[in-house]
A = this chain, B = another copy of it.
Amino acid sequence: MGVNANRLLFFSCILVVTGYCNGGRILVFPEDGSHWVNMQVILKELHAHGHSLTVVHSSRSWYIHDRSSLYTFISVNLTSTEDASRGIFETLLERSLSLRRMTPILRFFEQQKDVMTMLKIFHGVTLSIISTILDDSALMGKLQDSKFDLMLTDPAFPAGVLLAHYLHLPLVYNVRWLNAGDAHMAIAPSTPSYVPMYNSLFRDRMDFLQRTENFLRYMVSLLQEQFVILPIYEELLKRHFPPGSDLLSMQRSADIWLMRVDFIFEYPRPSMPNVVYIGGFQCRPAEPIVTELEEFMQSSGEHGVVVMSLGVMVTALPKHITEAIAAAFAKIPQKVIWRYVGDRPSSLGNNTLLLEWLPQNNLLGHPKTCAFVSHGGTNGIYEAIYHGIPVLLLPLLFDQFDNAIRLETRGAARVLEVSTLTSKEFLEALKDVIKNPSYKSNIQELSELHRDQPFSPLDSATFWIEYVIRHKGAQHLYSEGSSLPWYSYHNLDVVGFLLVIILAVLWALVYLVKFLCCTPYRKQKVE
């Protein structure tokens, strides 16, 4: 205990020495959907630390509403007609399920087409939001007068990045994706030889052909960035920023990248010193649940409870799949709590409780919970890891297929193909996840590793945000490599130059040898 006390003393000293930072003015530009769910966790913590928070959002947001008294909201009324409606996810899901039935090569091309369409829609909406803001001189004046200390943004789409640069604010990211690619790629060296690309469904150990496909995927993503995304913002940059401004440099220049990654889940890969890993920061010990729900949990007796949720984006699966799942649930001795919106499935058993919303973290941390059926969204996966609950995964969209492979590789989950799912298959897999002790022990091992950190991920996020406020940035962590063109970064110009020199020397040598050997010979011949 002496050593513990010693550590605690050191820790409190650090807080005093470093001028523990209160009362910063933070401008927040979040993304919608599940990204907003986890951004709120950080915002609540920052509010508890006494910072004042101003959240910018579109008046057409699905989830970000002016309800919380914790923040000041700036609601941007979009003048353009461009919009991505909530219904888009149902369309995407339908398409995703049909893609799963295609041959790999066809799927690759169709996927790329879909990605292009999505990028155009979402970046179009982003452009519309940031244009509206920058064109509104009254609003810009107000923002400038507010003298914010910092912009905290999720840079999946670059509205927050552009606004921060316009206002000359230090920049902190709460990030996993950037321009719809992995955020690591933007600042650490790209290593498609062992870092599987988004949607590749590869592991970190790839054979030659997989590495070739992965490399091609990487190239395609660079081309998409260059020829699809960047042109969208060209006109805006010309109108509002100094000549020569480019979006990629702005994105790379963030002071701190709070990366929603933990390497108990993600494959190890390089990163830069201004990247702070906060994967699982939203996880916390379970709190008591409402009496009715607690009674339902307890009624499961020795069998326990299965919790199912497909996240906030997708409200409903196709009807025949829902029925197949409901029928399988009806056949297990466990109780089931299912986050479900829509018509009650006809095959639903008495053991299954449908709820439009559920306290996921508190249920996963409940001692009666024995398995989690999930779509494989990052938030849910980290909560399952934190609480050590084995998972049955039904990936539907985006990075969920890649997430599923990562958890499956570690023996902590079973993964099912939703597009061809049968009730029998679902039942067999669910029973396996509940009864086979290896899933439980593997995810508990991950849980132990995840919890064994010198500093909680959420405290880490808060520390580094306040660090940037205290020091007005963290540009000493910014790498000169980010300023180099790609061919210089990868030494291609140097290698080319050296090759030219080597070839010139070789050519000169050959010429010299020819000259020395052949001249007398020719002379002889002539003689």
In the complex, what's the smallest C-beta–C-beta distance from A10 to chain B, in angstroms? Answer: 6
- The docked-state distance in angstroms from the alpha carbon of A476 to that of B265 is 9
Contact (Cβ within 8 A) B212 A480: no
A139-195 residues at the B interface, CB under 8 angstroms: 188-189, 191-195
Q: Which residues of B contact A277 (CB under 8 A)?
A: 273
Question: Is A454 touching B459 in the complex (CB atoms < 8 A)?
Answer: yes
Q: Verify if A111 is at the interface (C-beta below 8 Å from B).
A: no
Instruction: For the complex, give the distance between the alpha carbons of A470 and B267 in Å.
Output: 21
Instruction: Tell me if A333 is interfacial: C-beta within 8 Å of chain B.
Output: no
Contact stretch, chosen from A99-107, A293-301, A390-398, A487-495: A487-495
Say whether, besides A194-B480, A452-B470, A456-B10, A3 and B491 are in contact (CB < 8 Å): no
Once A191-B189, A271-B271 are accepted as A-B contacts, the answer to whether A480 and B205 lie under 8 Å apart by CB is yes
Contact B268 A459 (CB under 8 A): no
In the complex, which range does the number of interface residues on chain A fall in?
35 or more
8 Å CB interface, A257-304 against B: 263-264, 267-274, 277
A441 to B48, CA, bound (A): 34
Q: Is A453 an interface residue (CB 8 A)?
A: yes
A186 CA to B229 CA, complexed, in Å: 36
A476 & B271 in contact (Cβ 8 Å cutoff)? no
Complex-state Cα separation, A451 to B17, whole angstroms: 8
Asked whether A455 is an interface residue with its Cβ less than 8 Å from the other chain, the reply is yes
A14 to B448 CA separation, bound complex (whole angstroms) = 11
Partner of A188, one of B194, B270, B494: B270
Contacts of A12 in B (CB 8 A): 4, 8
A73 to chain B, nearest CB (A): 24
Q: Is the CB of B189 within 8 A of A270?
A: yes
- For A13-44 the 0/1 string (1 means CB < 8 A from B) is 01101101000000000000000000000000
Cβ-defined contact, B490 with A268, below 8 A: no
Residue A424 is within 8 A (CB to CB) of chain B in the complex: no
A341 interface residue, CB < 8 Å from B?
Answer: no
Q: How far is the CB of A218 from chain B (nearest CB, A)?
A: 9
- CB nearest neighbor in B for A214: B494
Q: How far is the CB of A85 from chain B (nearest CB, A)?
A: 39
Chain B min CB distance to A184 (Å): 10
Are B489 and A193 closer than 8 Å at their CB atoms? yes
Residues of the B chain whose Cβ atoms lie less than 8 Å from the Cβ of A470: 452
Interface members, chain A 469-525 (any B CB < 8 Å)? 470-471, 476-481, 483-484, 488-491, 493-495, 497-498
Residues of chain A touching chain B, judged by Cβ–Cβ distance below 8 Å, are 3-4, 7-8, 10-12, 14-15, 17-18, 20, 48-50, 188-189, 191-195, 204-205, 208, 211-212, 215-216, 263-264, 267-274, 277, 448-449, 451-456, 459-460, 463-464, 467, 470-471, 476-481, 483-484, 488-491, 493-495, 497-498
Can you list 6 contacts pairing A with B, beta carbon distance less than 8 Å?
A: A3-B48, A3-B49, A7-B11, A8-B12, A14-B455, A211-B491
10 A-B pairs besides A4-B20, A452-B471 with CB distance below 8 A are A10-B456, A14-B455, A17-B452, A193-B488, A204-B480, A212-B494, A269-B272, A273-B277, A454-B455, A454-B464
